[in-house]
Structure 1
Amino acid sequence: MNSKARNDAKHALRIIPREQHTISRKNISKAALRVLYRLNEAGYDAYLVGGAVRDLLLGGHPKDFDVATNATPDDVKKLFRNCRLIGRRFRLAHVVYGSEIIEVATFRGTSEEEGEGDRHIVDGRIVRDNVWGTIEEDALRRDFRVNAMYYGINDFAVRDYVGGMQDLQDRVLRLIGDPATRYREDPVRMLRAARLAAKLDFRIDSSASAPFAELGPLLSSVAPARLFDESLKMFLTGHGLKSFRMLEQCGLLKFMFPATARALKRGDKALRELVEQGLESTDARISDGKSVTPAFLFAVLLWGEVRDLAHTWTTQGKDANEAWSRAATHVVAEQCQRVAIPRRFTITMEEIWSLQPRFEQIQRKKVFRLLTHPRFRAAFDFLLLRSAESPAMGELGQWWAHAQQLPHETLAAALPLQSTNAAGEVELVRSTAPRKRKRRRKPAGKSGTT
C-alpha cells in the first residue's frame, strides 16, 4: 500500500446509524434487498456499496445497485440459481431478476505485488485483479471517497472508512490514494471524475485534477469499446451538456473526441451553439422520458469536422456527393479508433450528414423524395440545430417545417421543376390545388388522329 493510501487508511471508521442518515429500504430495489438478505442468511457479510449509497445519501433515486461481500463469486453462484459469473479482469457475479441485474463483487485486497494470487499489472495499469481481501481493504481499492461507503441491512448503518461522508457534505470529489497512481491503474477514472462532477454538481479536488494534462494521453490505451460505454454514461443519462463542458474544462475532450476538439478550437461560435443545443435537447428528452439515439448525438459532436472537410474538398473541385461521403468516412474512421461507435450508429450518422446538402435543393421531385427518406426526421431535426450557422440556414429550416404542414397538391404547386439553392427564392403559397386541364374536343367528323 503506498503512502497516500496509508494516509487514507488512517481515517477512523465512522459508523453512521440509521437515525443519522437518509437511506431507507423503500428506495432500494427489491432485487438488491433479496440479494443482501440471502447472503446474510447464508452467513456472509454483504453491503450495498458505491454509487447507490452515495446517491441515496444525496436524496437521489439510483437505477443500479451494487453489492460487496466476502463471499467469492463461486459462493454467490451456489446461492443463486439466477446467477452468472462474468469478467476476466474483475471476476463478478451478476444476479438476474427479470430486467434488473444486481452486480455482486467480492471484497478486493490491497496487495500491490504483481502476480500475487490472480493479480497482474502492466506499466502501472491493472489488467487483472481477483485478489480477495477485507472490507477495509476493499474501501481503499475504490476510486473516489464518496463511492467507498457501505450500507448494511443487518443494522441499517452506513460504514465510512475513508471520509466519504465529509466529501458529500463538502460536495467535492477526492481520490483514494495517490491520484497519478490511481489513474495509471485505470485511466478511465479521469473520465469518471468529470462525469461525476457534472452529474452531482461537485467540484474536483485540485489534487485529483492536477494529473489530467500529463496522464490524459493514457486514454488512448483504453479499449475503444469501453470508451463507447463511458461516452453513453456521459451524454445519454440526462447531464450530457454539463459532462461535455466538464470534459473541456478538464482538458480531456481531445483524448475522446479529437475531431470535435479541433473543430471547436477554430472558434466557430455557431458550431459550439449547435453542439451545446444538441446536448441540451438530448438532456431534455431524457428528462421527459423520451427515446434518444447515440447516432444523433455523435452526428452532432462530429459535424464540424465533417462539414469543414466536405467544404474543403468541394472547393478543390471534387464532386459534392463524393466530398461529403469521403469526409464522413474519414471522420468516422478516426473517431472509431478512440471510441468504438457500432456500425448501426455510424450508418445513421452518415445518412444524417449526407442529407444536409439535399435540403438546399428546392425542386419538386427532390423535395418529395427527401420527405419520404427513412432518415428525414432525424436529418430535419439536425437541420434545425444548424439555424445558427446563418440567417439563410434559419430560413431554410423554417421552409422545410412549413413544407411538412402543406397538403401534397399544394406543396407540389408551389415548387419549381428546376432546382434552386437559395432557401428564400421559393415561397410556399397556401393556394388551392392546381387547375385541371380541360380535355380538348375532337373536331367533328375526324377520327382524332393527327
Structure 2
Amino acid sequence: MKEQSNIPTTKVERAGKFVTTGLKVGSNYIKHYTRKLMDPSVTKEALHQDNAEDIYNTLSNLKGSALKVAQMLSMDKGMLPKAYSEKFAMSQYSAPPLSGPLVVNTFMKTLGKSPSQLYDKFDMHASNAASIGQVHKAWKNDKPLAVKIQYPGVANSVKSDLRLVKPFAIRIVGMNEVDMDKYFDEIESKLLEETDYKLELSRSMALSRECAHIPHLRFPGYYPELSSERIITMDWLDGLHLKEFLQTNPSQEARDKIGQALWDFYQFQVHKLRQVHADPHPGNFLMRADGTVGIFDFGCVKEIPEDFYVNYFLLVDKEVLKDDKRRYEIYTNLEMIHPTDTPKEIEFFSGLFQHMIDLLTLPFTLENFDFGNEAYFNEIYAYMDELYNMKEIRESKVARGSRHSLYINRTYFGLYSILSDLKANVITSQTRIQQMISGQPAVN
C-alpha cells in the first residue's frame, strides 16, 4: 500500500479537504440524477459507491477523528448502505500508512531517540494502519514487539474534525440534525481519550491484569520505558484478524472457544468492572486456530455510571418490563421516552423499543445462543431497516437514548457482529455471567 508522506494538520487545510469532498459528493448527485433522467432504472447503488469512495479517500488522508467516525459507522450493520459500510470498514486496519521520516520524527519529538537507538531492529514499514495510529514491528533482546505510533496532529484536530464530519455523518445515516449534540459530545470525549496514549497505556495494563483469568484470552505485556504520549510499545501478538482467520476455515471448536472468550471478556468488564473496551472492531483482535484470541488497544474505554447500568440491564428482566408503569420509568431514565412526549408518542415509541429490546436481549435469556443463526440477525437487520424508513422516527424532534447508550450499544453491536461472523455457539446464561462476576472458574 502506498505510504502517506504528510497529513494536513491545520484547521484550514483539513476544512479545505472537506469542502472539496462536499463538492465532489454534490457533483455525484448531479451525475446520478442526470443518468436517472436518461434511464429510470438506474439505482442509487452507483451513487453510494461514488460517494463512499470520495468520502473515504478524504477521511483516510486526514486520519484521526474524521476516519474514526467512518470506522464507527462501518460497525453498525444495517445502518449504512452497503457501499459505505464496505468502504469504511477498511479504516479498521488498512488505511494508508505514514512514511518513514514522519515515524522517525515522532520518536525524536517524544522519546528523544530514533527507533534504531531504542530497538535492536525496527521495521519502518507499518504492519497495520488505522484511524488514530499505525503499528510497526520491532525487536529488542530477541523479543518481537508491536510499536503503536499516533499520527501527527490527531489530538489537536478532534474538536474541529467532528464539526466538519458531523454533516456528512448525519446525511449518510439519514437523520435530521435534532439534538444530536449530546452524542457528538460523547464521541468527542472518547476520541480525546484515545489520543492520550499515556492514559491508554495505564488502562491497557490495568484491564489486561483484571481480565487475565478469563479462559482463552491473551494480552500483550507493555513497556512504559519505550512509550510516550504518542507511542506505545507492547509485546507482538501472533494471530489473524477476523476476515483472514475465517478464510483458513477454522474448526467449529475454535470458533466457539473464541466466541465464548469474547463474550466472557465483555460481560466481566461490564458487570464487574463497570468499564469496558468499547472498540470491538475486528482490527483489535487476533485469532488463532487453537481457539485463543489476542486482545489489545484499550484506547476507547467506556466507564459506566451506576444509575445508567441499573436501568440499562433492567431491560433484560422480562418480569420487570411486564409492569407498564415500571417500564415507562426505565424508558424515561434512559431517555428513550421524553417528558414532553404525548400519550400517543409514548405508546408508539414504547412499542418500537420493546420489540427491539426483545430481539437484542434474546441471547441473555437463554442458556446457550447460536450466533450463527442467520434468521435471527436477518430479523434484526430487517427491523432496523423498517425503523430507519419510518416517517415518525426520521421526523422526530428529539434524539432518543442516553449519551451513555451510544458506546454501550456500539460495544454490544460490535460483539454480536463478530460472534455472528464466527458463527459461534456461546454459553450466554445469567449463571455464566454471575460466575464471571464472582470470579468462579467458568468451565467451557
Q: TM-score, normalised by structure 2?
A: 0.24
Structure number with bigger Rg: 1
